[in-house]
Structure 1
Amino acid sequence: MEAAASMCLGPPTGSGAGVGSTAVIATTVVTTVALISLARRTLRPEKRAVIPGPLTTTLPKLSDAARSEIPYQPDTFPGARDVVTPYGNIRVYEFGPEDGRKVLFLHGISTSCMTLKSIAMPLAEKGCRVMLFDLFGRGFTDAPADVPYDTRLFVTQILLVLASSSLPWTGDNGLSIIGYSLGGGIAANFAATFPHMVESLVLLAPSGLIRPENFGRASRLVFMSGLVPERLLAWLTKRRLRHPIASSVSKKVRKSVSDATAAAAAPQTPLHSEAKRKEDYVDVAVQEAVDPVEEEDVAAAPPTPFERQVLSYVHWALDLHHGFVQAFMSTIRHGPLMEQHAYWRQLARRKPGTTAVVLARDDSLIQKDDYAEDALPLLGGGDNVFWRVVPGSHNFPFTHAAEALEQIYEFWGME
């Protein structure tokens, strides 16, 4: 009887092992899910609708002395205002005679509208009504975080800025536009979309038709494939921006984001050597800030005071504009940098003599020969377009502003 009872009450053979195995499996699953969730939170950026800019996050915390040292001051231009929009606040400046030619300025991918000061201020002094603003994620403008930084976003931003003025800017032949670098690509697409609104279009080293093959395959893979987690890519991009902008070394010896990524996996891969032969996407930002200096050019002039100021601003933005790097990366992916042929083809329909393209002789990013071959035919040829080449590199609007202004004066028939 005792044996029988023992047999009835005892656990079946192997049941303890089964319970133990189930517990191990459950623990493994929970741990794996937790680690995956932690990795996603660590490597993927937090999703927010708007990332506030430094005007509301950083400046209020600074002492008067610290505020005075900011390389891009909130009162750099007269007529400042902050425009509240569903995409965040936009910093806008508008000044000059109210009855003058209305001129809208669009700046580049990594800077603020301060880079166009040496052109905007003289035009205002000559009687133009000028308007400048910081693109989303730059300067003192907030950064929308849940939309791509593409033509649709930038065109919408322009319309929001124009609508914020007490003066009419949007009627037939309502304004002229001067766009530099990325701003030139945006300006071209805006003018193609609203041809009746833009009386005169001036494109200074404009993006839009940069040949994709001018960027290395490694750089395209890193930025475009989605294989690199966003936070890791943001860290690499920030590090990449800070180093070459600080040293202003030759593109031949710069280390790119793709270099850093490839080296982490296989230090001497073919990707490493190729990245030295091609532009990196981050070179778009570097060359807006400072002229590239060839390693062998020991006699090259040092950066000008204003170039140093622009460099300081980029460093400041990297540290204190929390949406800057995300905005930059999204613009690289979605902005009008390359393959905008459909928009440019529409510009050929503009009235002859109302479109100007000004390129720099030594610009290795927006190459004058490439654009003469690719862009000029799309725009209707030399009889349709005011086409000029001036001294300098990609940042000529502030290193050679006088030469750029001469072309604009000639184009507009100004004394």
Structure 2
Amino acid sequence: MANPEKMLKLARMKTLATSLLVAVVVILIVARMQGWPWVAAFAEAAMIGALADWFAVVALFRHPLGLPIPHTAILPRNKARLADNLAVFIRDKFLDTASLVARMRAANLAARLGIWLQEPKNATLLADRLGLILAQSVDFMDDPRVRRLFLHALRRRAGAMDMGDSVGRILDALTEHSRHQALLDEALNKLAHWLNEPGVKQGFAGMIVDVAGKEYPKVVSMLGLVGISPTELGDKVATGIVAGVNGLLDEIASDPAHPRRAAFDEVIARYIQRFKHDPSFRDRVDQVKREFLAHPAVGTYLRELWDELRDWLGRDMAKPDSHIRRRLASAASALGASLATNPALRDSLNERIEHIVESLAPEVRDSLGGHIASTVRAWNDEDLVREIEVSVGRDLQFIRLNGTVVGGLIGLALYAITHLFA
């Protein structure tokens, strides 16, 4: 629907231009009757100029007087070409990739974002908006149909995943540059610390005494006869076991070429090859994965986990002092401060934005150009004419006014020249 105010202004200009045409016609008639040749020359030329410009202006939008005169109703007749040309003009002049990237670079969006986020009210505003999106997302996911679809999609994607190949690739990455040996060193260190804890030795000792008492009761009773306490013997045996294991762990940890390390390498390499190239082994891994995903307990666990997460988010977002919103605001402020004080971070963010624009601009500009062309093509002819006429028609009426006045002056000048030379 065209703007009513613009339509009113257009109607007034049309009335003014038409009134001026009627006025020069009346002046022409009176001048002819009164014998005023100079006035008649002006009025006649002004009338011709007004009619010619009226025809030209009307021919842009419709057929003058409804007559199918060739090369009139230019806009509706050429709507398709107009739509394509308009789309190409906007696409090539406003949305070309180089211009967009240059505008992004000149705008320095990272610096502006840093300044904006340093204002506490802006950081809070961003946190509130993100919290609202999060809450709405939770409400959306709470729909039973969406939740079922989500869980089904999750299981389907997990089921389609090649676990053998994925695990093989992960192990391959972990073993590159002997990274797995560093993990082994950390594991040996943790195991040594655990074995040296008093409670571990006592646990071993108690376990030895219990097993010996159950399996070899006569031997344990004979120890009492010779003056040896089972508990004391258990402590000594446990201490010996721990010392022996610690000694082995120390040897492995201090010797990069230790045979146990080589054996560890062989085991890892063998499993990597089986994960990547052994069809039967990969089938067994995939079967375990399918059985795990199909187990009812997995679905129950995922649903319960989602319900707990949803309830916690709902309770927190309902609080005036929401923990999530506070953390979001704090993170936004920290990001603003970092952007303000760290030029490298600003440059990095600006580069990422430029890369995103470069990658998306061709697709966006083509899609937008196509959208503009299809939208204009789909417009009703009357709607198109009305919208364009309301937008520029008032200025076109000035052409009629100027044509009337200028035509009259030209007619008067021609009349004077002809009489001068006569």
TM-score higher than 0.5 here? no
> How would you bin the TM-score normalised by the shorter chain?
under 0.3
Which is richer in strand? 1
TM-score (normalised: structure 2): 0.16
> TM-score, normalized by length of structure 1?
0.16
More helix by share: 2
